[in-house]
């Protein structure tokens, strides 16, 4: 399996977090379904040109979150947790909504206006009330 992951040197986040986030996104989007084998730690480290320790840290974090499972001698696989992708997408949505709330507060926007903007975003064909 080609990993299709990449590390950006311009990204301020640590490399292992970039790997974690990209794998989370692939799982949440359904690109990597439950049971799919991930590249071995050594293979991914070589592909990304990072240390084995960096990839191992990413995999350990993902395993502790329940995103992947590692079977000794077999490899690492996308976890078979029911609803995991949906939960991850909901967490992503919550983060975006929290950010929208922060922006609205910084603009001193009334809550009703923010809600109306969300309604417009959900139904772009409907005229504003």
Domain ranges across the chain: 15-78, 84-122
Q: How far apart are CA 68 and CA 62, in angstroms?
A: 6
Q: Are strands 75-78 and 68-71 parallel, antiparallel or unpaired?
A: antiparallel
List, in order, residues 6 or more apart from 31 with CB less than 8 Å away: none
Q: Alpha carbon of 12 to those of 16, 91, 96, 122: distances in Å? A: 12, 22, 20, 32
- Give the domain 15-78 fold: Arc Repressor Mutant, subunit A (1.10.10)
What global pTM score does this model have?
0.66
Query: What number is the average pLDDT over the span 39-48?
Result: 94
**pLDDT (0 to 100) of residue 83:** 63
Of all residues in the chain, what percent carry a pLDDT higher than 90? 56
Higher pLDDT, 127 or 112: 112
């Amino acid at each position: 399996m080609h990993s299709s992951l990449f590390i950006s040197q311009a990204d301020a986040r640590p490399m292992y977090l970039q790997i974690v986030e990209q794998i989370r996104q692939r799982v949440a989007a359904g690109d990597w379904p439950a049971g799919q084998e991930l590249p071995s730690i050594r293979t991914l480290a070589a592909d990304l040109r990072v240390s084995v320790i960096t990839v191992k840290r990413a995999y350990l974090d993902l395993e502790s979150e329940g995103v992947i499972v590692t079977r000794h001698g077999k490899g690492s696989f996308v976890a078979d947790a029911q609803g995991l992708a949906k939960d991850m997408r909901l967490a992503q949505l919550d983060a975006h909504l929290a950010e929208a709330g922060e922006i609205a507060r910084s603009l001193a926007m009334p809550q009703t206006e923010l809600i109306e903007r969300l309604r417009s975003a959900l139904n772009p064909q409907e005229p504003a009330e």
